[in-house]
Chain A
Amino acid sequence: MAPIIRTESLRKVYHVGEEKVVALSNIDLSIEKGEFCCIIGSSGSGKSTLLNMLAGLEKPTKGLVVIAGKKVSKMDENQLALFRQQNLGFIFQSYNLLPQLTAAENVAMPLMFHGMPRPKRLKKARRELEAMGLENRENHKPTEMSGGQQQRVGIARAFVSKPQVIFADEPTGNLDSHTTLQVLQTMMDRSSKYGITFVMVTHERELAGCGDRIITLQDGAIIENLLLDEETKKANRAELFSGLDPMPGSADQGEE
């Protein structure tokens, strides 16, 4: 089966004044459908730049990004908007919920952009929030929720349209360690349940160990592309999630 995400000799050069800064060079990678893929690296290694280019938020200086058979790096803004509506989801480090909207409205936003009628999309959003254990928070504004709750709303927003790929840039970066584990578990559960490919940037190696694949970047190049076997994954997860109560409401709520 063809990989869902593929890059060909991806290169990104930034011009800072007179100087050229090579952020990424010669990135060739493929990610299979349904994989939970973590991109790790130290600060300045180019991991965020890579994610941005995979998601089509930045144009590569050279090279190609193909997602689900479409050349994302060649699309213009309008084509990208349509492609994102239908195929991509996003989770941000700082949640990026719209402050004037309720939790349910925030979750329903991608469906609104798609043109789904309001009652229908709010119903879907509520279901998604219930799956996140936020059934009591549907009509709360973001400012009335804790960081962990806000990020779960952000996750619900990424999953609500059941996209092919979800990109997450340091999704647990602003959360305490306990909440981090809860949120990570939720993301893994939801993406495996719906067969969604998940690409997450993090700088915490132990979190990355729970995924299927770890891509390690250093100075703009891939220094390691590791596909974990089942046993290692299990061991890593058991170690990480030991002592963590199952997240309230993370049990499946029976959808469709």
Chain B
Amino acid sequence: MRISDLFRFSTDNLRRRMGRTILTIIGVVVGVCAIVVMVSLGVAVNQATDEMVQNWGDLRTINVSSYGAQPGTPDLDDKMVQNFKQMEHVLAATPMYSADGLSGIVTTGNGNQYANNYPSLIGMNPEAIPVMDYELLAGSYLPETPPAHAADTIEVLAGATAVFEFVDTRKGENHPNRQKYVEFPSYEEAGPNAAPSNLPQYDENNQLLNPDDFFFDILNSTLTYRMNYGTDANGQPQYKDYTLIVTGVVYTHDFSMDMGFVMSVESMKKLEKDYQRLSHTPAENQTGATVIPGSSDGTVQVAGYDTVYVKVDAVENMPEVEKAIMDTGYQISSMSQAREDLQGQVAQSQMMLGGLAAVSLFVAALNIANTMTMAIYERTREIGVMKVLGCRLSNIRTLFLIESGAIGLLGGILGVILSFGISVALNYLPAILAALGITANIDLAALFGLSGMMGISDMKLSVIQPWLVLLALCFATGVGLVSGIAPANRAVRISSLEAIRHE
């Protein structure tokens, strides 16, 4: 038989028992609809988590910690940083070093008018800084080898909001203009984690374009770091001053980094050494691991840097590099790991909901099989006649498979259409409820076992993507075909003698 004839014959038969066909199709529609809507909820949550995690920060940075390491793990020192750097897919590795016990303030202006009393200073490898996706707002990154200059001069990068950490010491503690503050655009317009609206802006000649927002231009000012290393015999604090040369202003998207200053690890070590010498603090020559008190899982803290950042070339390679570092024994954390955890959790919930929905599709499959079996019983004689008249067995099987597949496909198409309707309704549900004067907070995240989906207030409840449509149609047709296999085989086995049996 020709394919066109097979299709005509099958659809004729479906039309012949229209009522039953429609009922069976409705079963499929319900099943497909349940699955598509359930999956669309999961897709929506995934999109929201993705958006959220992207706002958290960089997905390609691994945070290696000296805490929580396995016993026997080597020290997290410069040698290890070099090792990380030489791993495949690693673009850069740098300690995030802040010396313990160091205390001091940063000042600038006439008579040190402006002061940051609790400056945050981080030491990094200069060559790693450009790779870390820190946005250079003005000036240049740290020189990789410090230029020759006076001994107590240090190059630093200022964070984008570091300038807001300074107070006007001439104004009293409670004076309203003692400090200028970071401002953020309205949440409704810019969404979560938007950049502050009053970051310093510079032209290509490093001239500050919005000087009114600040007390001073942090890039073109002379800063002093006044290190406090103790008190003299009279109880007066003792200071040592360093000149800070701000080579550039960086926007790191990490608010704690943006408030502070970045210098080279070498500079940080020099500060630390000076401090230890002047304050007569013995240098800790600690090597090897320390068992952390209270750690029940047998992990230790290794010596060396507390934290090392490793930058990876692509998100896809994160798991590989993460595994390599963990195999060395370190505990790590990263945004992409956090994202995977979240996505895993969502996928699990999605599977569960999808599984529940699949039950209804399974019932629909039984329905199809039942309908087809009935059809074959009714048409036993016809099938016999067709066989006697020379219809091939494969054609008979195909006829019935087309019928059951068509039921599946039609159910799939209608189910997808209905799903789009439900999806739209779900997405407008809060608005509809609000219009009706009902305040309801639909917490989809909670349904997926996630709490604190912060900053995703306008997330969609349901997202149907093209792949989901395609998958649903294929799945529905597949279910139809599979349910038709047994009845079709039964049809093939019908004896042609049935046809000529007298009634």
> Which residues on A are within 8 Å of B, measured CB to CB?
48, 52, 55, 57-58, 77-78, 81-86, 88, 90, 92-94, 96, 98, 100-101, 109-110, 112-115, 117-118, 157, 169-170, 173
- Which residues of chain A are within 8 angstroms of B391 by Cβ–Cβ distance? 81, 113
When the two chains form the complex, which single residue of B389, B393, B500 contacts A109, counting CB atoms closer than 8 Å? Answer: B389
Find out whether the CB atom of B4 lies under 8 angstroms from the CB atom of A118.
yes
Residue of A with least CB distance to B8: A118
Answer whether residue B381 sits at the interface, using C-beta atoms and an 8 A cutoff: yes
Find out whether the CB atom of B502 lies under 8 angstroms from the CB atom of A90.
no
* 18 additional A-B residue pairs with CB within 8 Å, beyond A57-B497, A77-B387, A113-B395: A52-B497, A52-B500, A58-B497, A78-B393, A81-B387, A81-B391, A83-B390, A85-B389, A90-B389, A93-B500, A93-B502, A96-B385, A109-B386, A110-B390, A112-B5, A113-B1, A118-B5, A170-B502
- Which residues of chain A are within 8 angstroms of B13 by Cβ–Cβ distance? 100
- Which residues of chain B are within 8 angstroms of A58 by Cβ–Cβ distance? 497
Residue of A with least CB distance to B395: A113
**Whole-angstrom CA separation of A110 from B1 in the bound complex:** 10
**Whole-angstrom CA separation of A169 from B502 in the bound complex:** 10
- Which residues of chain A are within 8 angstroms of B502 by Cβ–Cβ distance? 93-94, 170, 173
CB distance from A127 to the nearest CB of B (A): 19
Answer whether residue B269 sits at the interface, using C-beta atoms and an 8 A cutoff: no
Answer whether residue B240 sits at the interface, using C-beta atoms and an 8 A cutoff: no
- Which residues of chain B are within 8 angstroms of A90 by Cβ–Cβ distance? 388-389, 500
Find out whether the CB atom of A94 lies under 8 angstroms from the CB atom of B2.
no
- Which residues of chain A are within 8 angstroms of B393 by Cβ–Cβ distance? 77-78, 81
**Whole-angstrom CA separation of A113 from B387 in the bound complex:** 10
A-B contact pairs, 28 of them (CB 8 A): A48-B500, A52-B497, A52-B500, A55-B388, A57-B496, A58-B497, A77-B393, A78-B394, A81-B387, A81-B390, A81-B392, A82-B390, A84-B388, A88-B390, A90-B388, A92-B385, A92-B499, A96-B385, A98-B385, A100-B13, A100-B16, A101-B12, A112-B2, A113-B1, A113-B386, A114-B390, A115-B1, A157-B389
> Which residues on B are within 8 Å of A, measured CB to CB?
1-2, 4-5, 12-13, 16, 381-382, 385-395, 495-497, 499-500, 502-503
**Whole-angstrom CA separation of A101 from B12 in the bound complex:** 9
**Whole-angstrom CA separation of A110 from B392 in the bound complex:** 11
CB distance from B102 to the nearest CB of A (A): 90
**Whole-angstrom CA separation of A77 from B492 in the bound complex:** 10
Smallest CB-CB A-B distances: 9 pairs? A85-B390, A84-B390, A96-B385, A113-B391, A81-B392, A113-B390, A110-B389, A100-B16, A57-B497
**Whole-angstrom CA separation of A86 from B4 in the bound complex:** 21
- Which residues of chain A are within 8 angstroms of B387 by Cβ–Cβ distance? 77, 81
Residue of B with least CB distance to A108: B5
Find out whether the CB atom of B500 lies under 8 angstroms from the CB atom of A117.
no
The prevalent SS among residues of B at the interface is: helix
CB distance from B500 to the nearest CB of A (A): 5
Find out whether the CB atom of A98 lies under 8 angstroms from the CB atom of B500.
no
CB distance from A48 to the nearest CB of B (A): 8
Across chains A and B, the number of contacting residue pairs, with CB separation under 8 Å, is: 76
- Which residues of chain B are within 8 angstroms of A84 by Cβ–Cβ distance? 388-390
**Whole-angstrom CA separation of A81 from B492 in the bound complex:** 12
Residue of B with least CB distance to A93: B502
CB distance from A191 to the nearest CB of B (A): 18
- Which residues of chain A are within 8 angstroms of B392 by Cβ–Cβ distance? 78, 81-82, 113
- Which residues of chain B are within 8 angstroms of A96 by Cβ–Cβ distance? 381-382, 385, 499-500
**Whole-angstrom CA separation of A146 from B120 in the bound complex:** 102
**Whole-angstrom CA separation of A169 from B497 in the bound complex:** 12
Residue of B with least CB distance to A55: B388
- Which residues of chain A are within 8 angstroms of B5 by Cβ–Cβ distance? 112, 118
Residue of A with least CB distance to B379: A98
- Which residues of chain A are within 8 angstroms of B499 by Cβ–Cβ distance? 92, 96
- Which residues of chain B are within 8 angstroms of A94 by Cβ–Cβ distance? 502-503
**Whole-angstrom CA separation of A179 from B24 in the bound complex:** 44
- Which residues of chain A are within 8 angstroms of B381 by Cβ–Cβ distance? 96
**Whole-angstrom CA separation of A254 from B499 in the bound complex:** 33
**Whole-angstrom CA separation of A48 from B501 in the bound complex:** 10
**Whole-angstrom CA separation of A98 from B389 in the bound complex:** 12
Residue of B with least CB distance to A83: B390
CB distance from A129 to the nearest CB of B (A): 17
Find out whether the CB atom of B388 lies under 8 angstroms from the CB atom of A57.
yes
Residue of A with least CB distance to B499: A96
**Whole-angstrom CA separation of A48 from B382 in the bound complex:** 20
Residue of A with least CB distance to B6: A112
CB distance from B242 to the nearest CB of A (A): 94
- Which residues of chain A are within 8 angstroms of B395 by Cβ–Cβ distance? 113
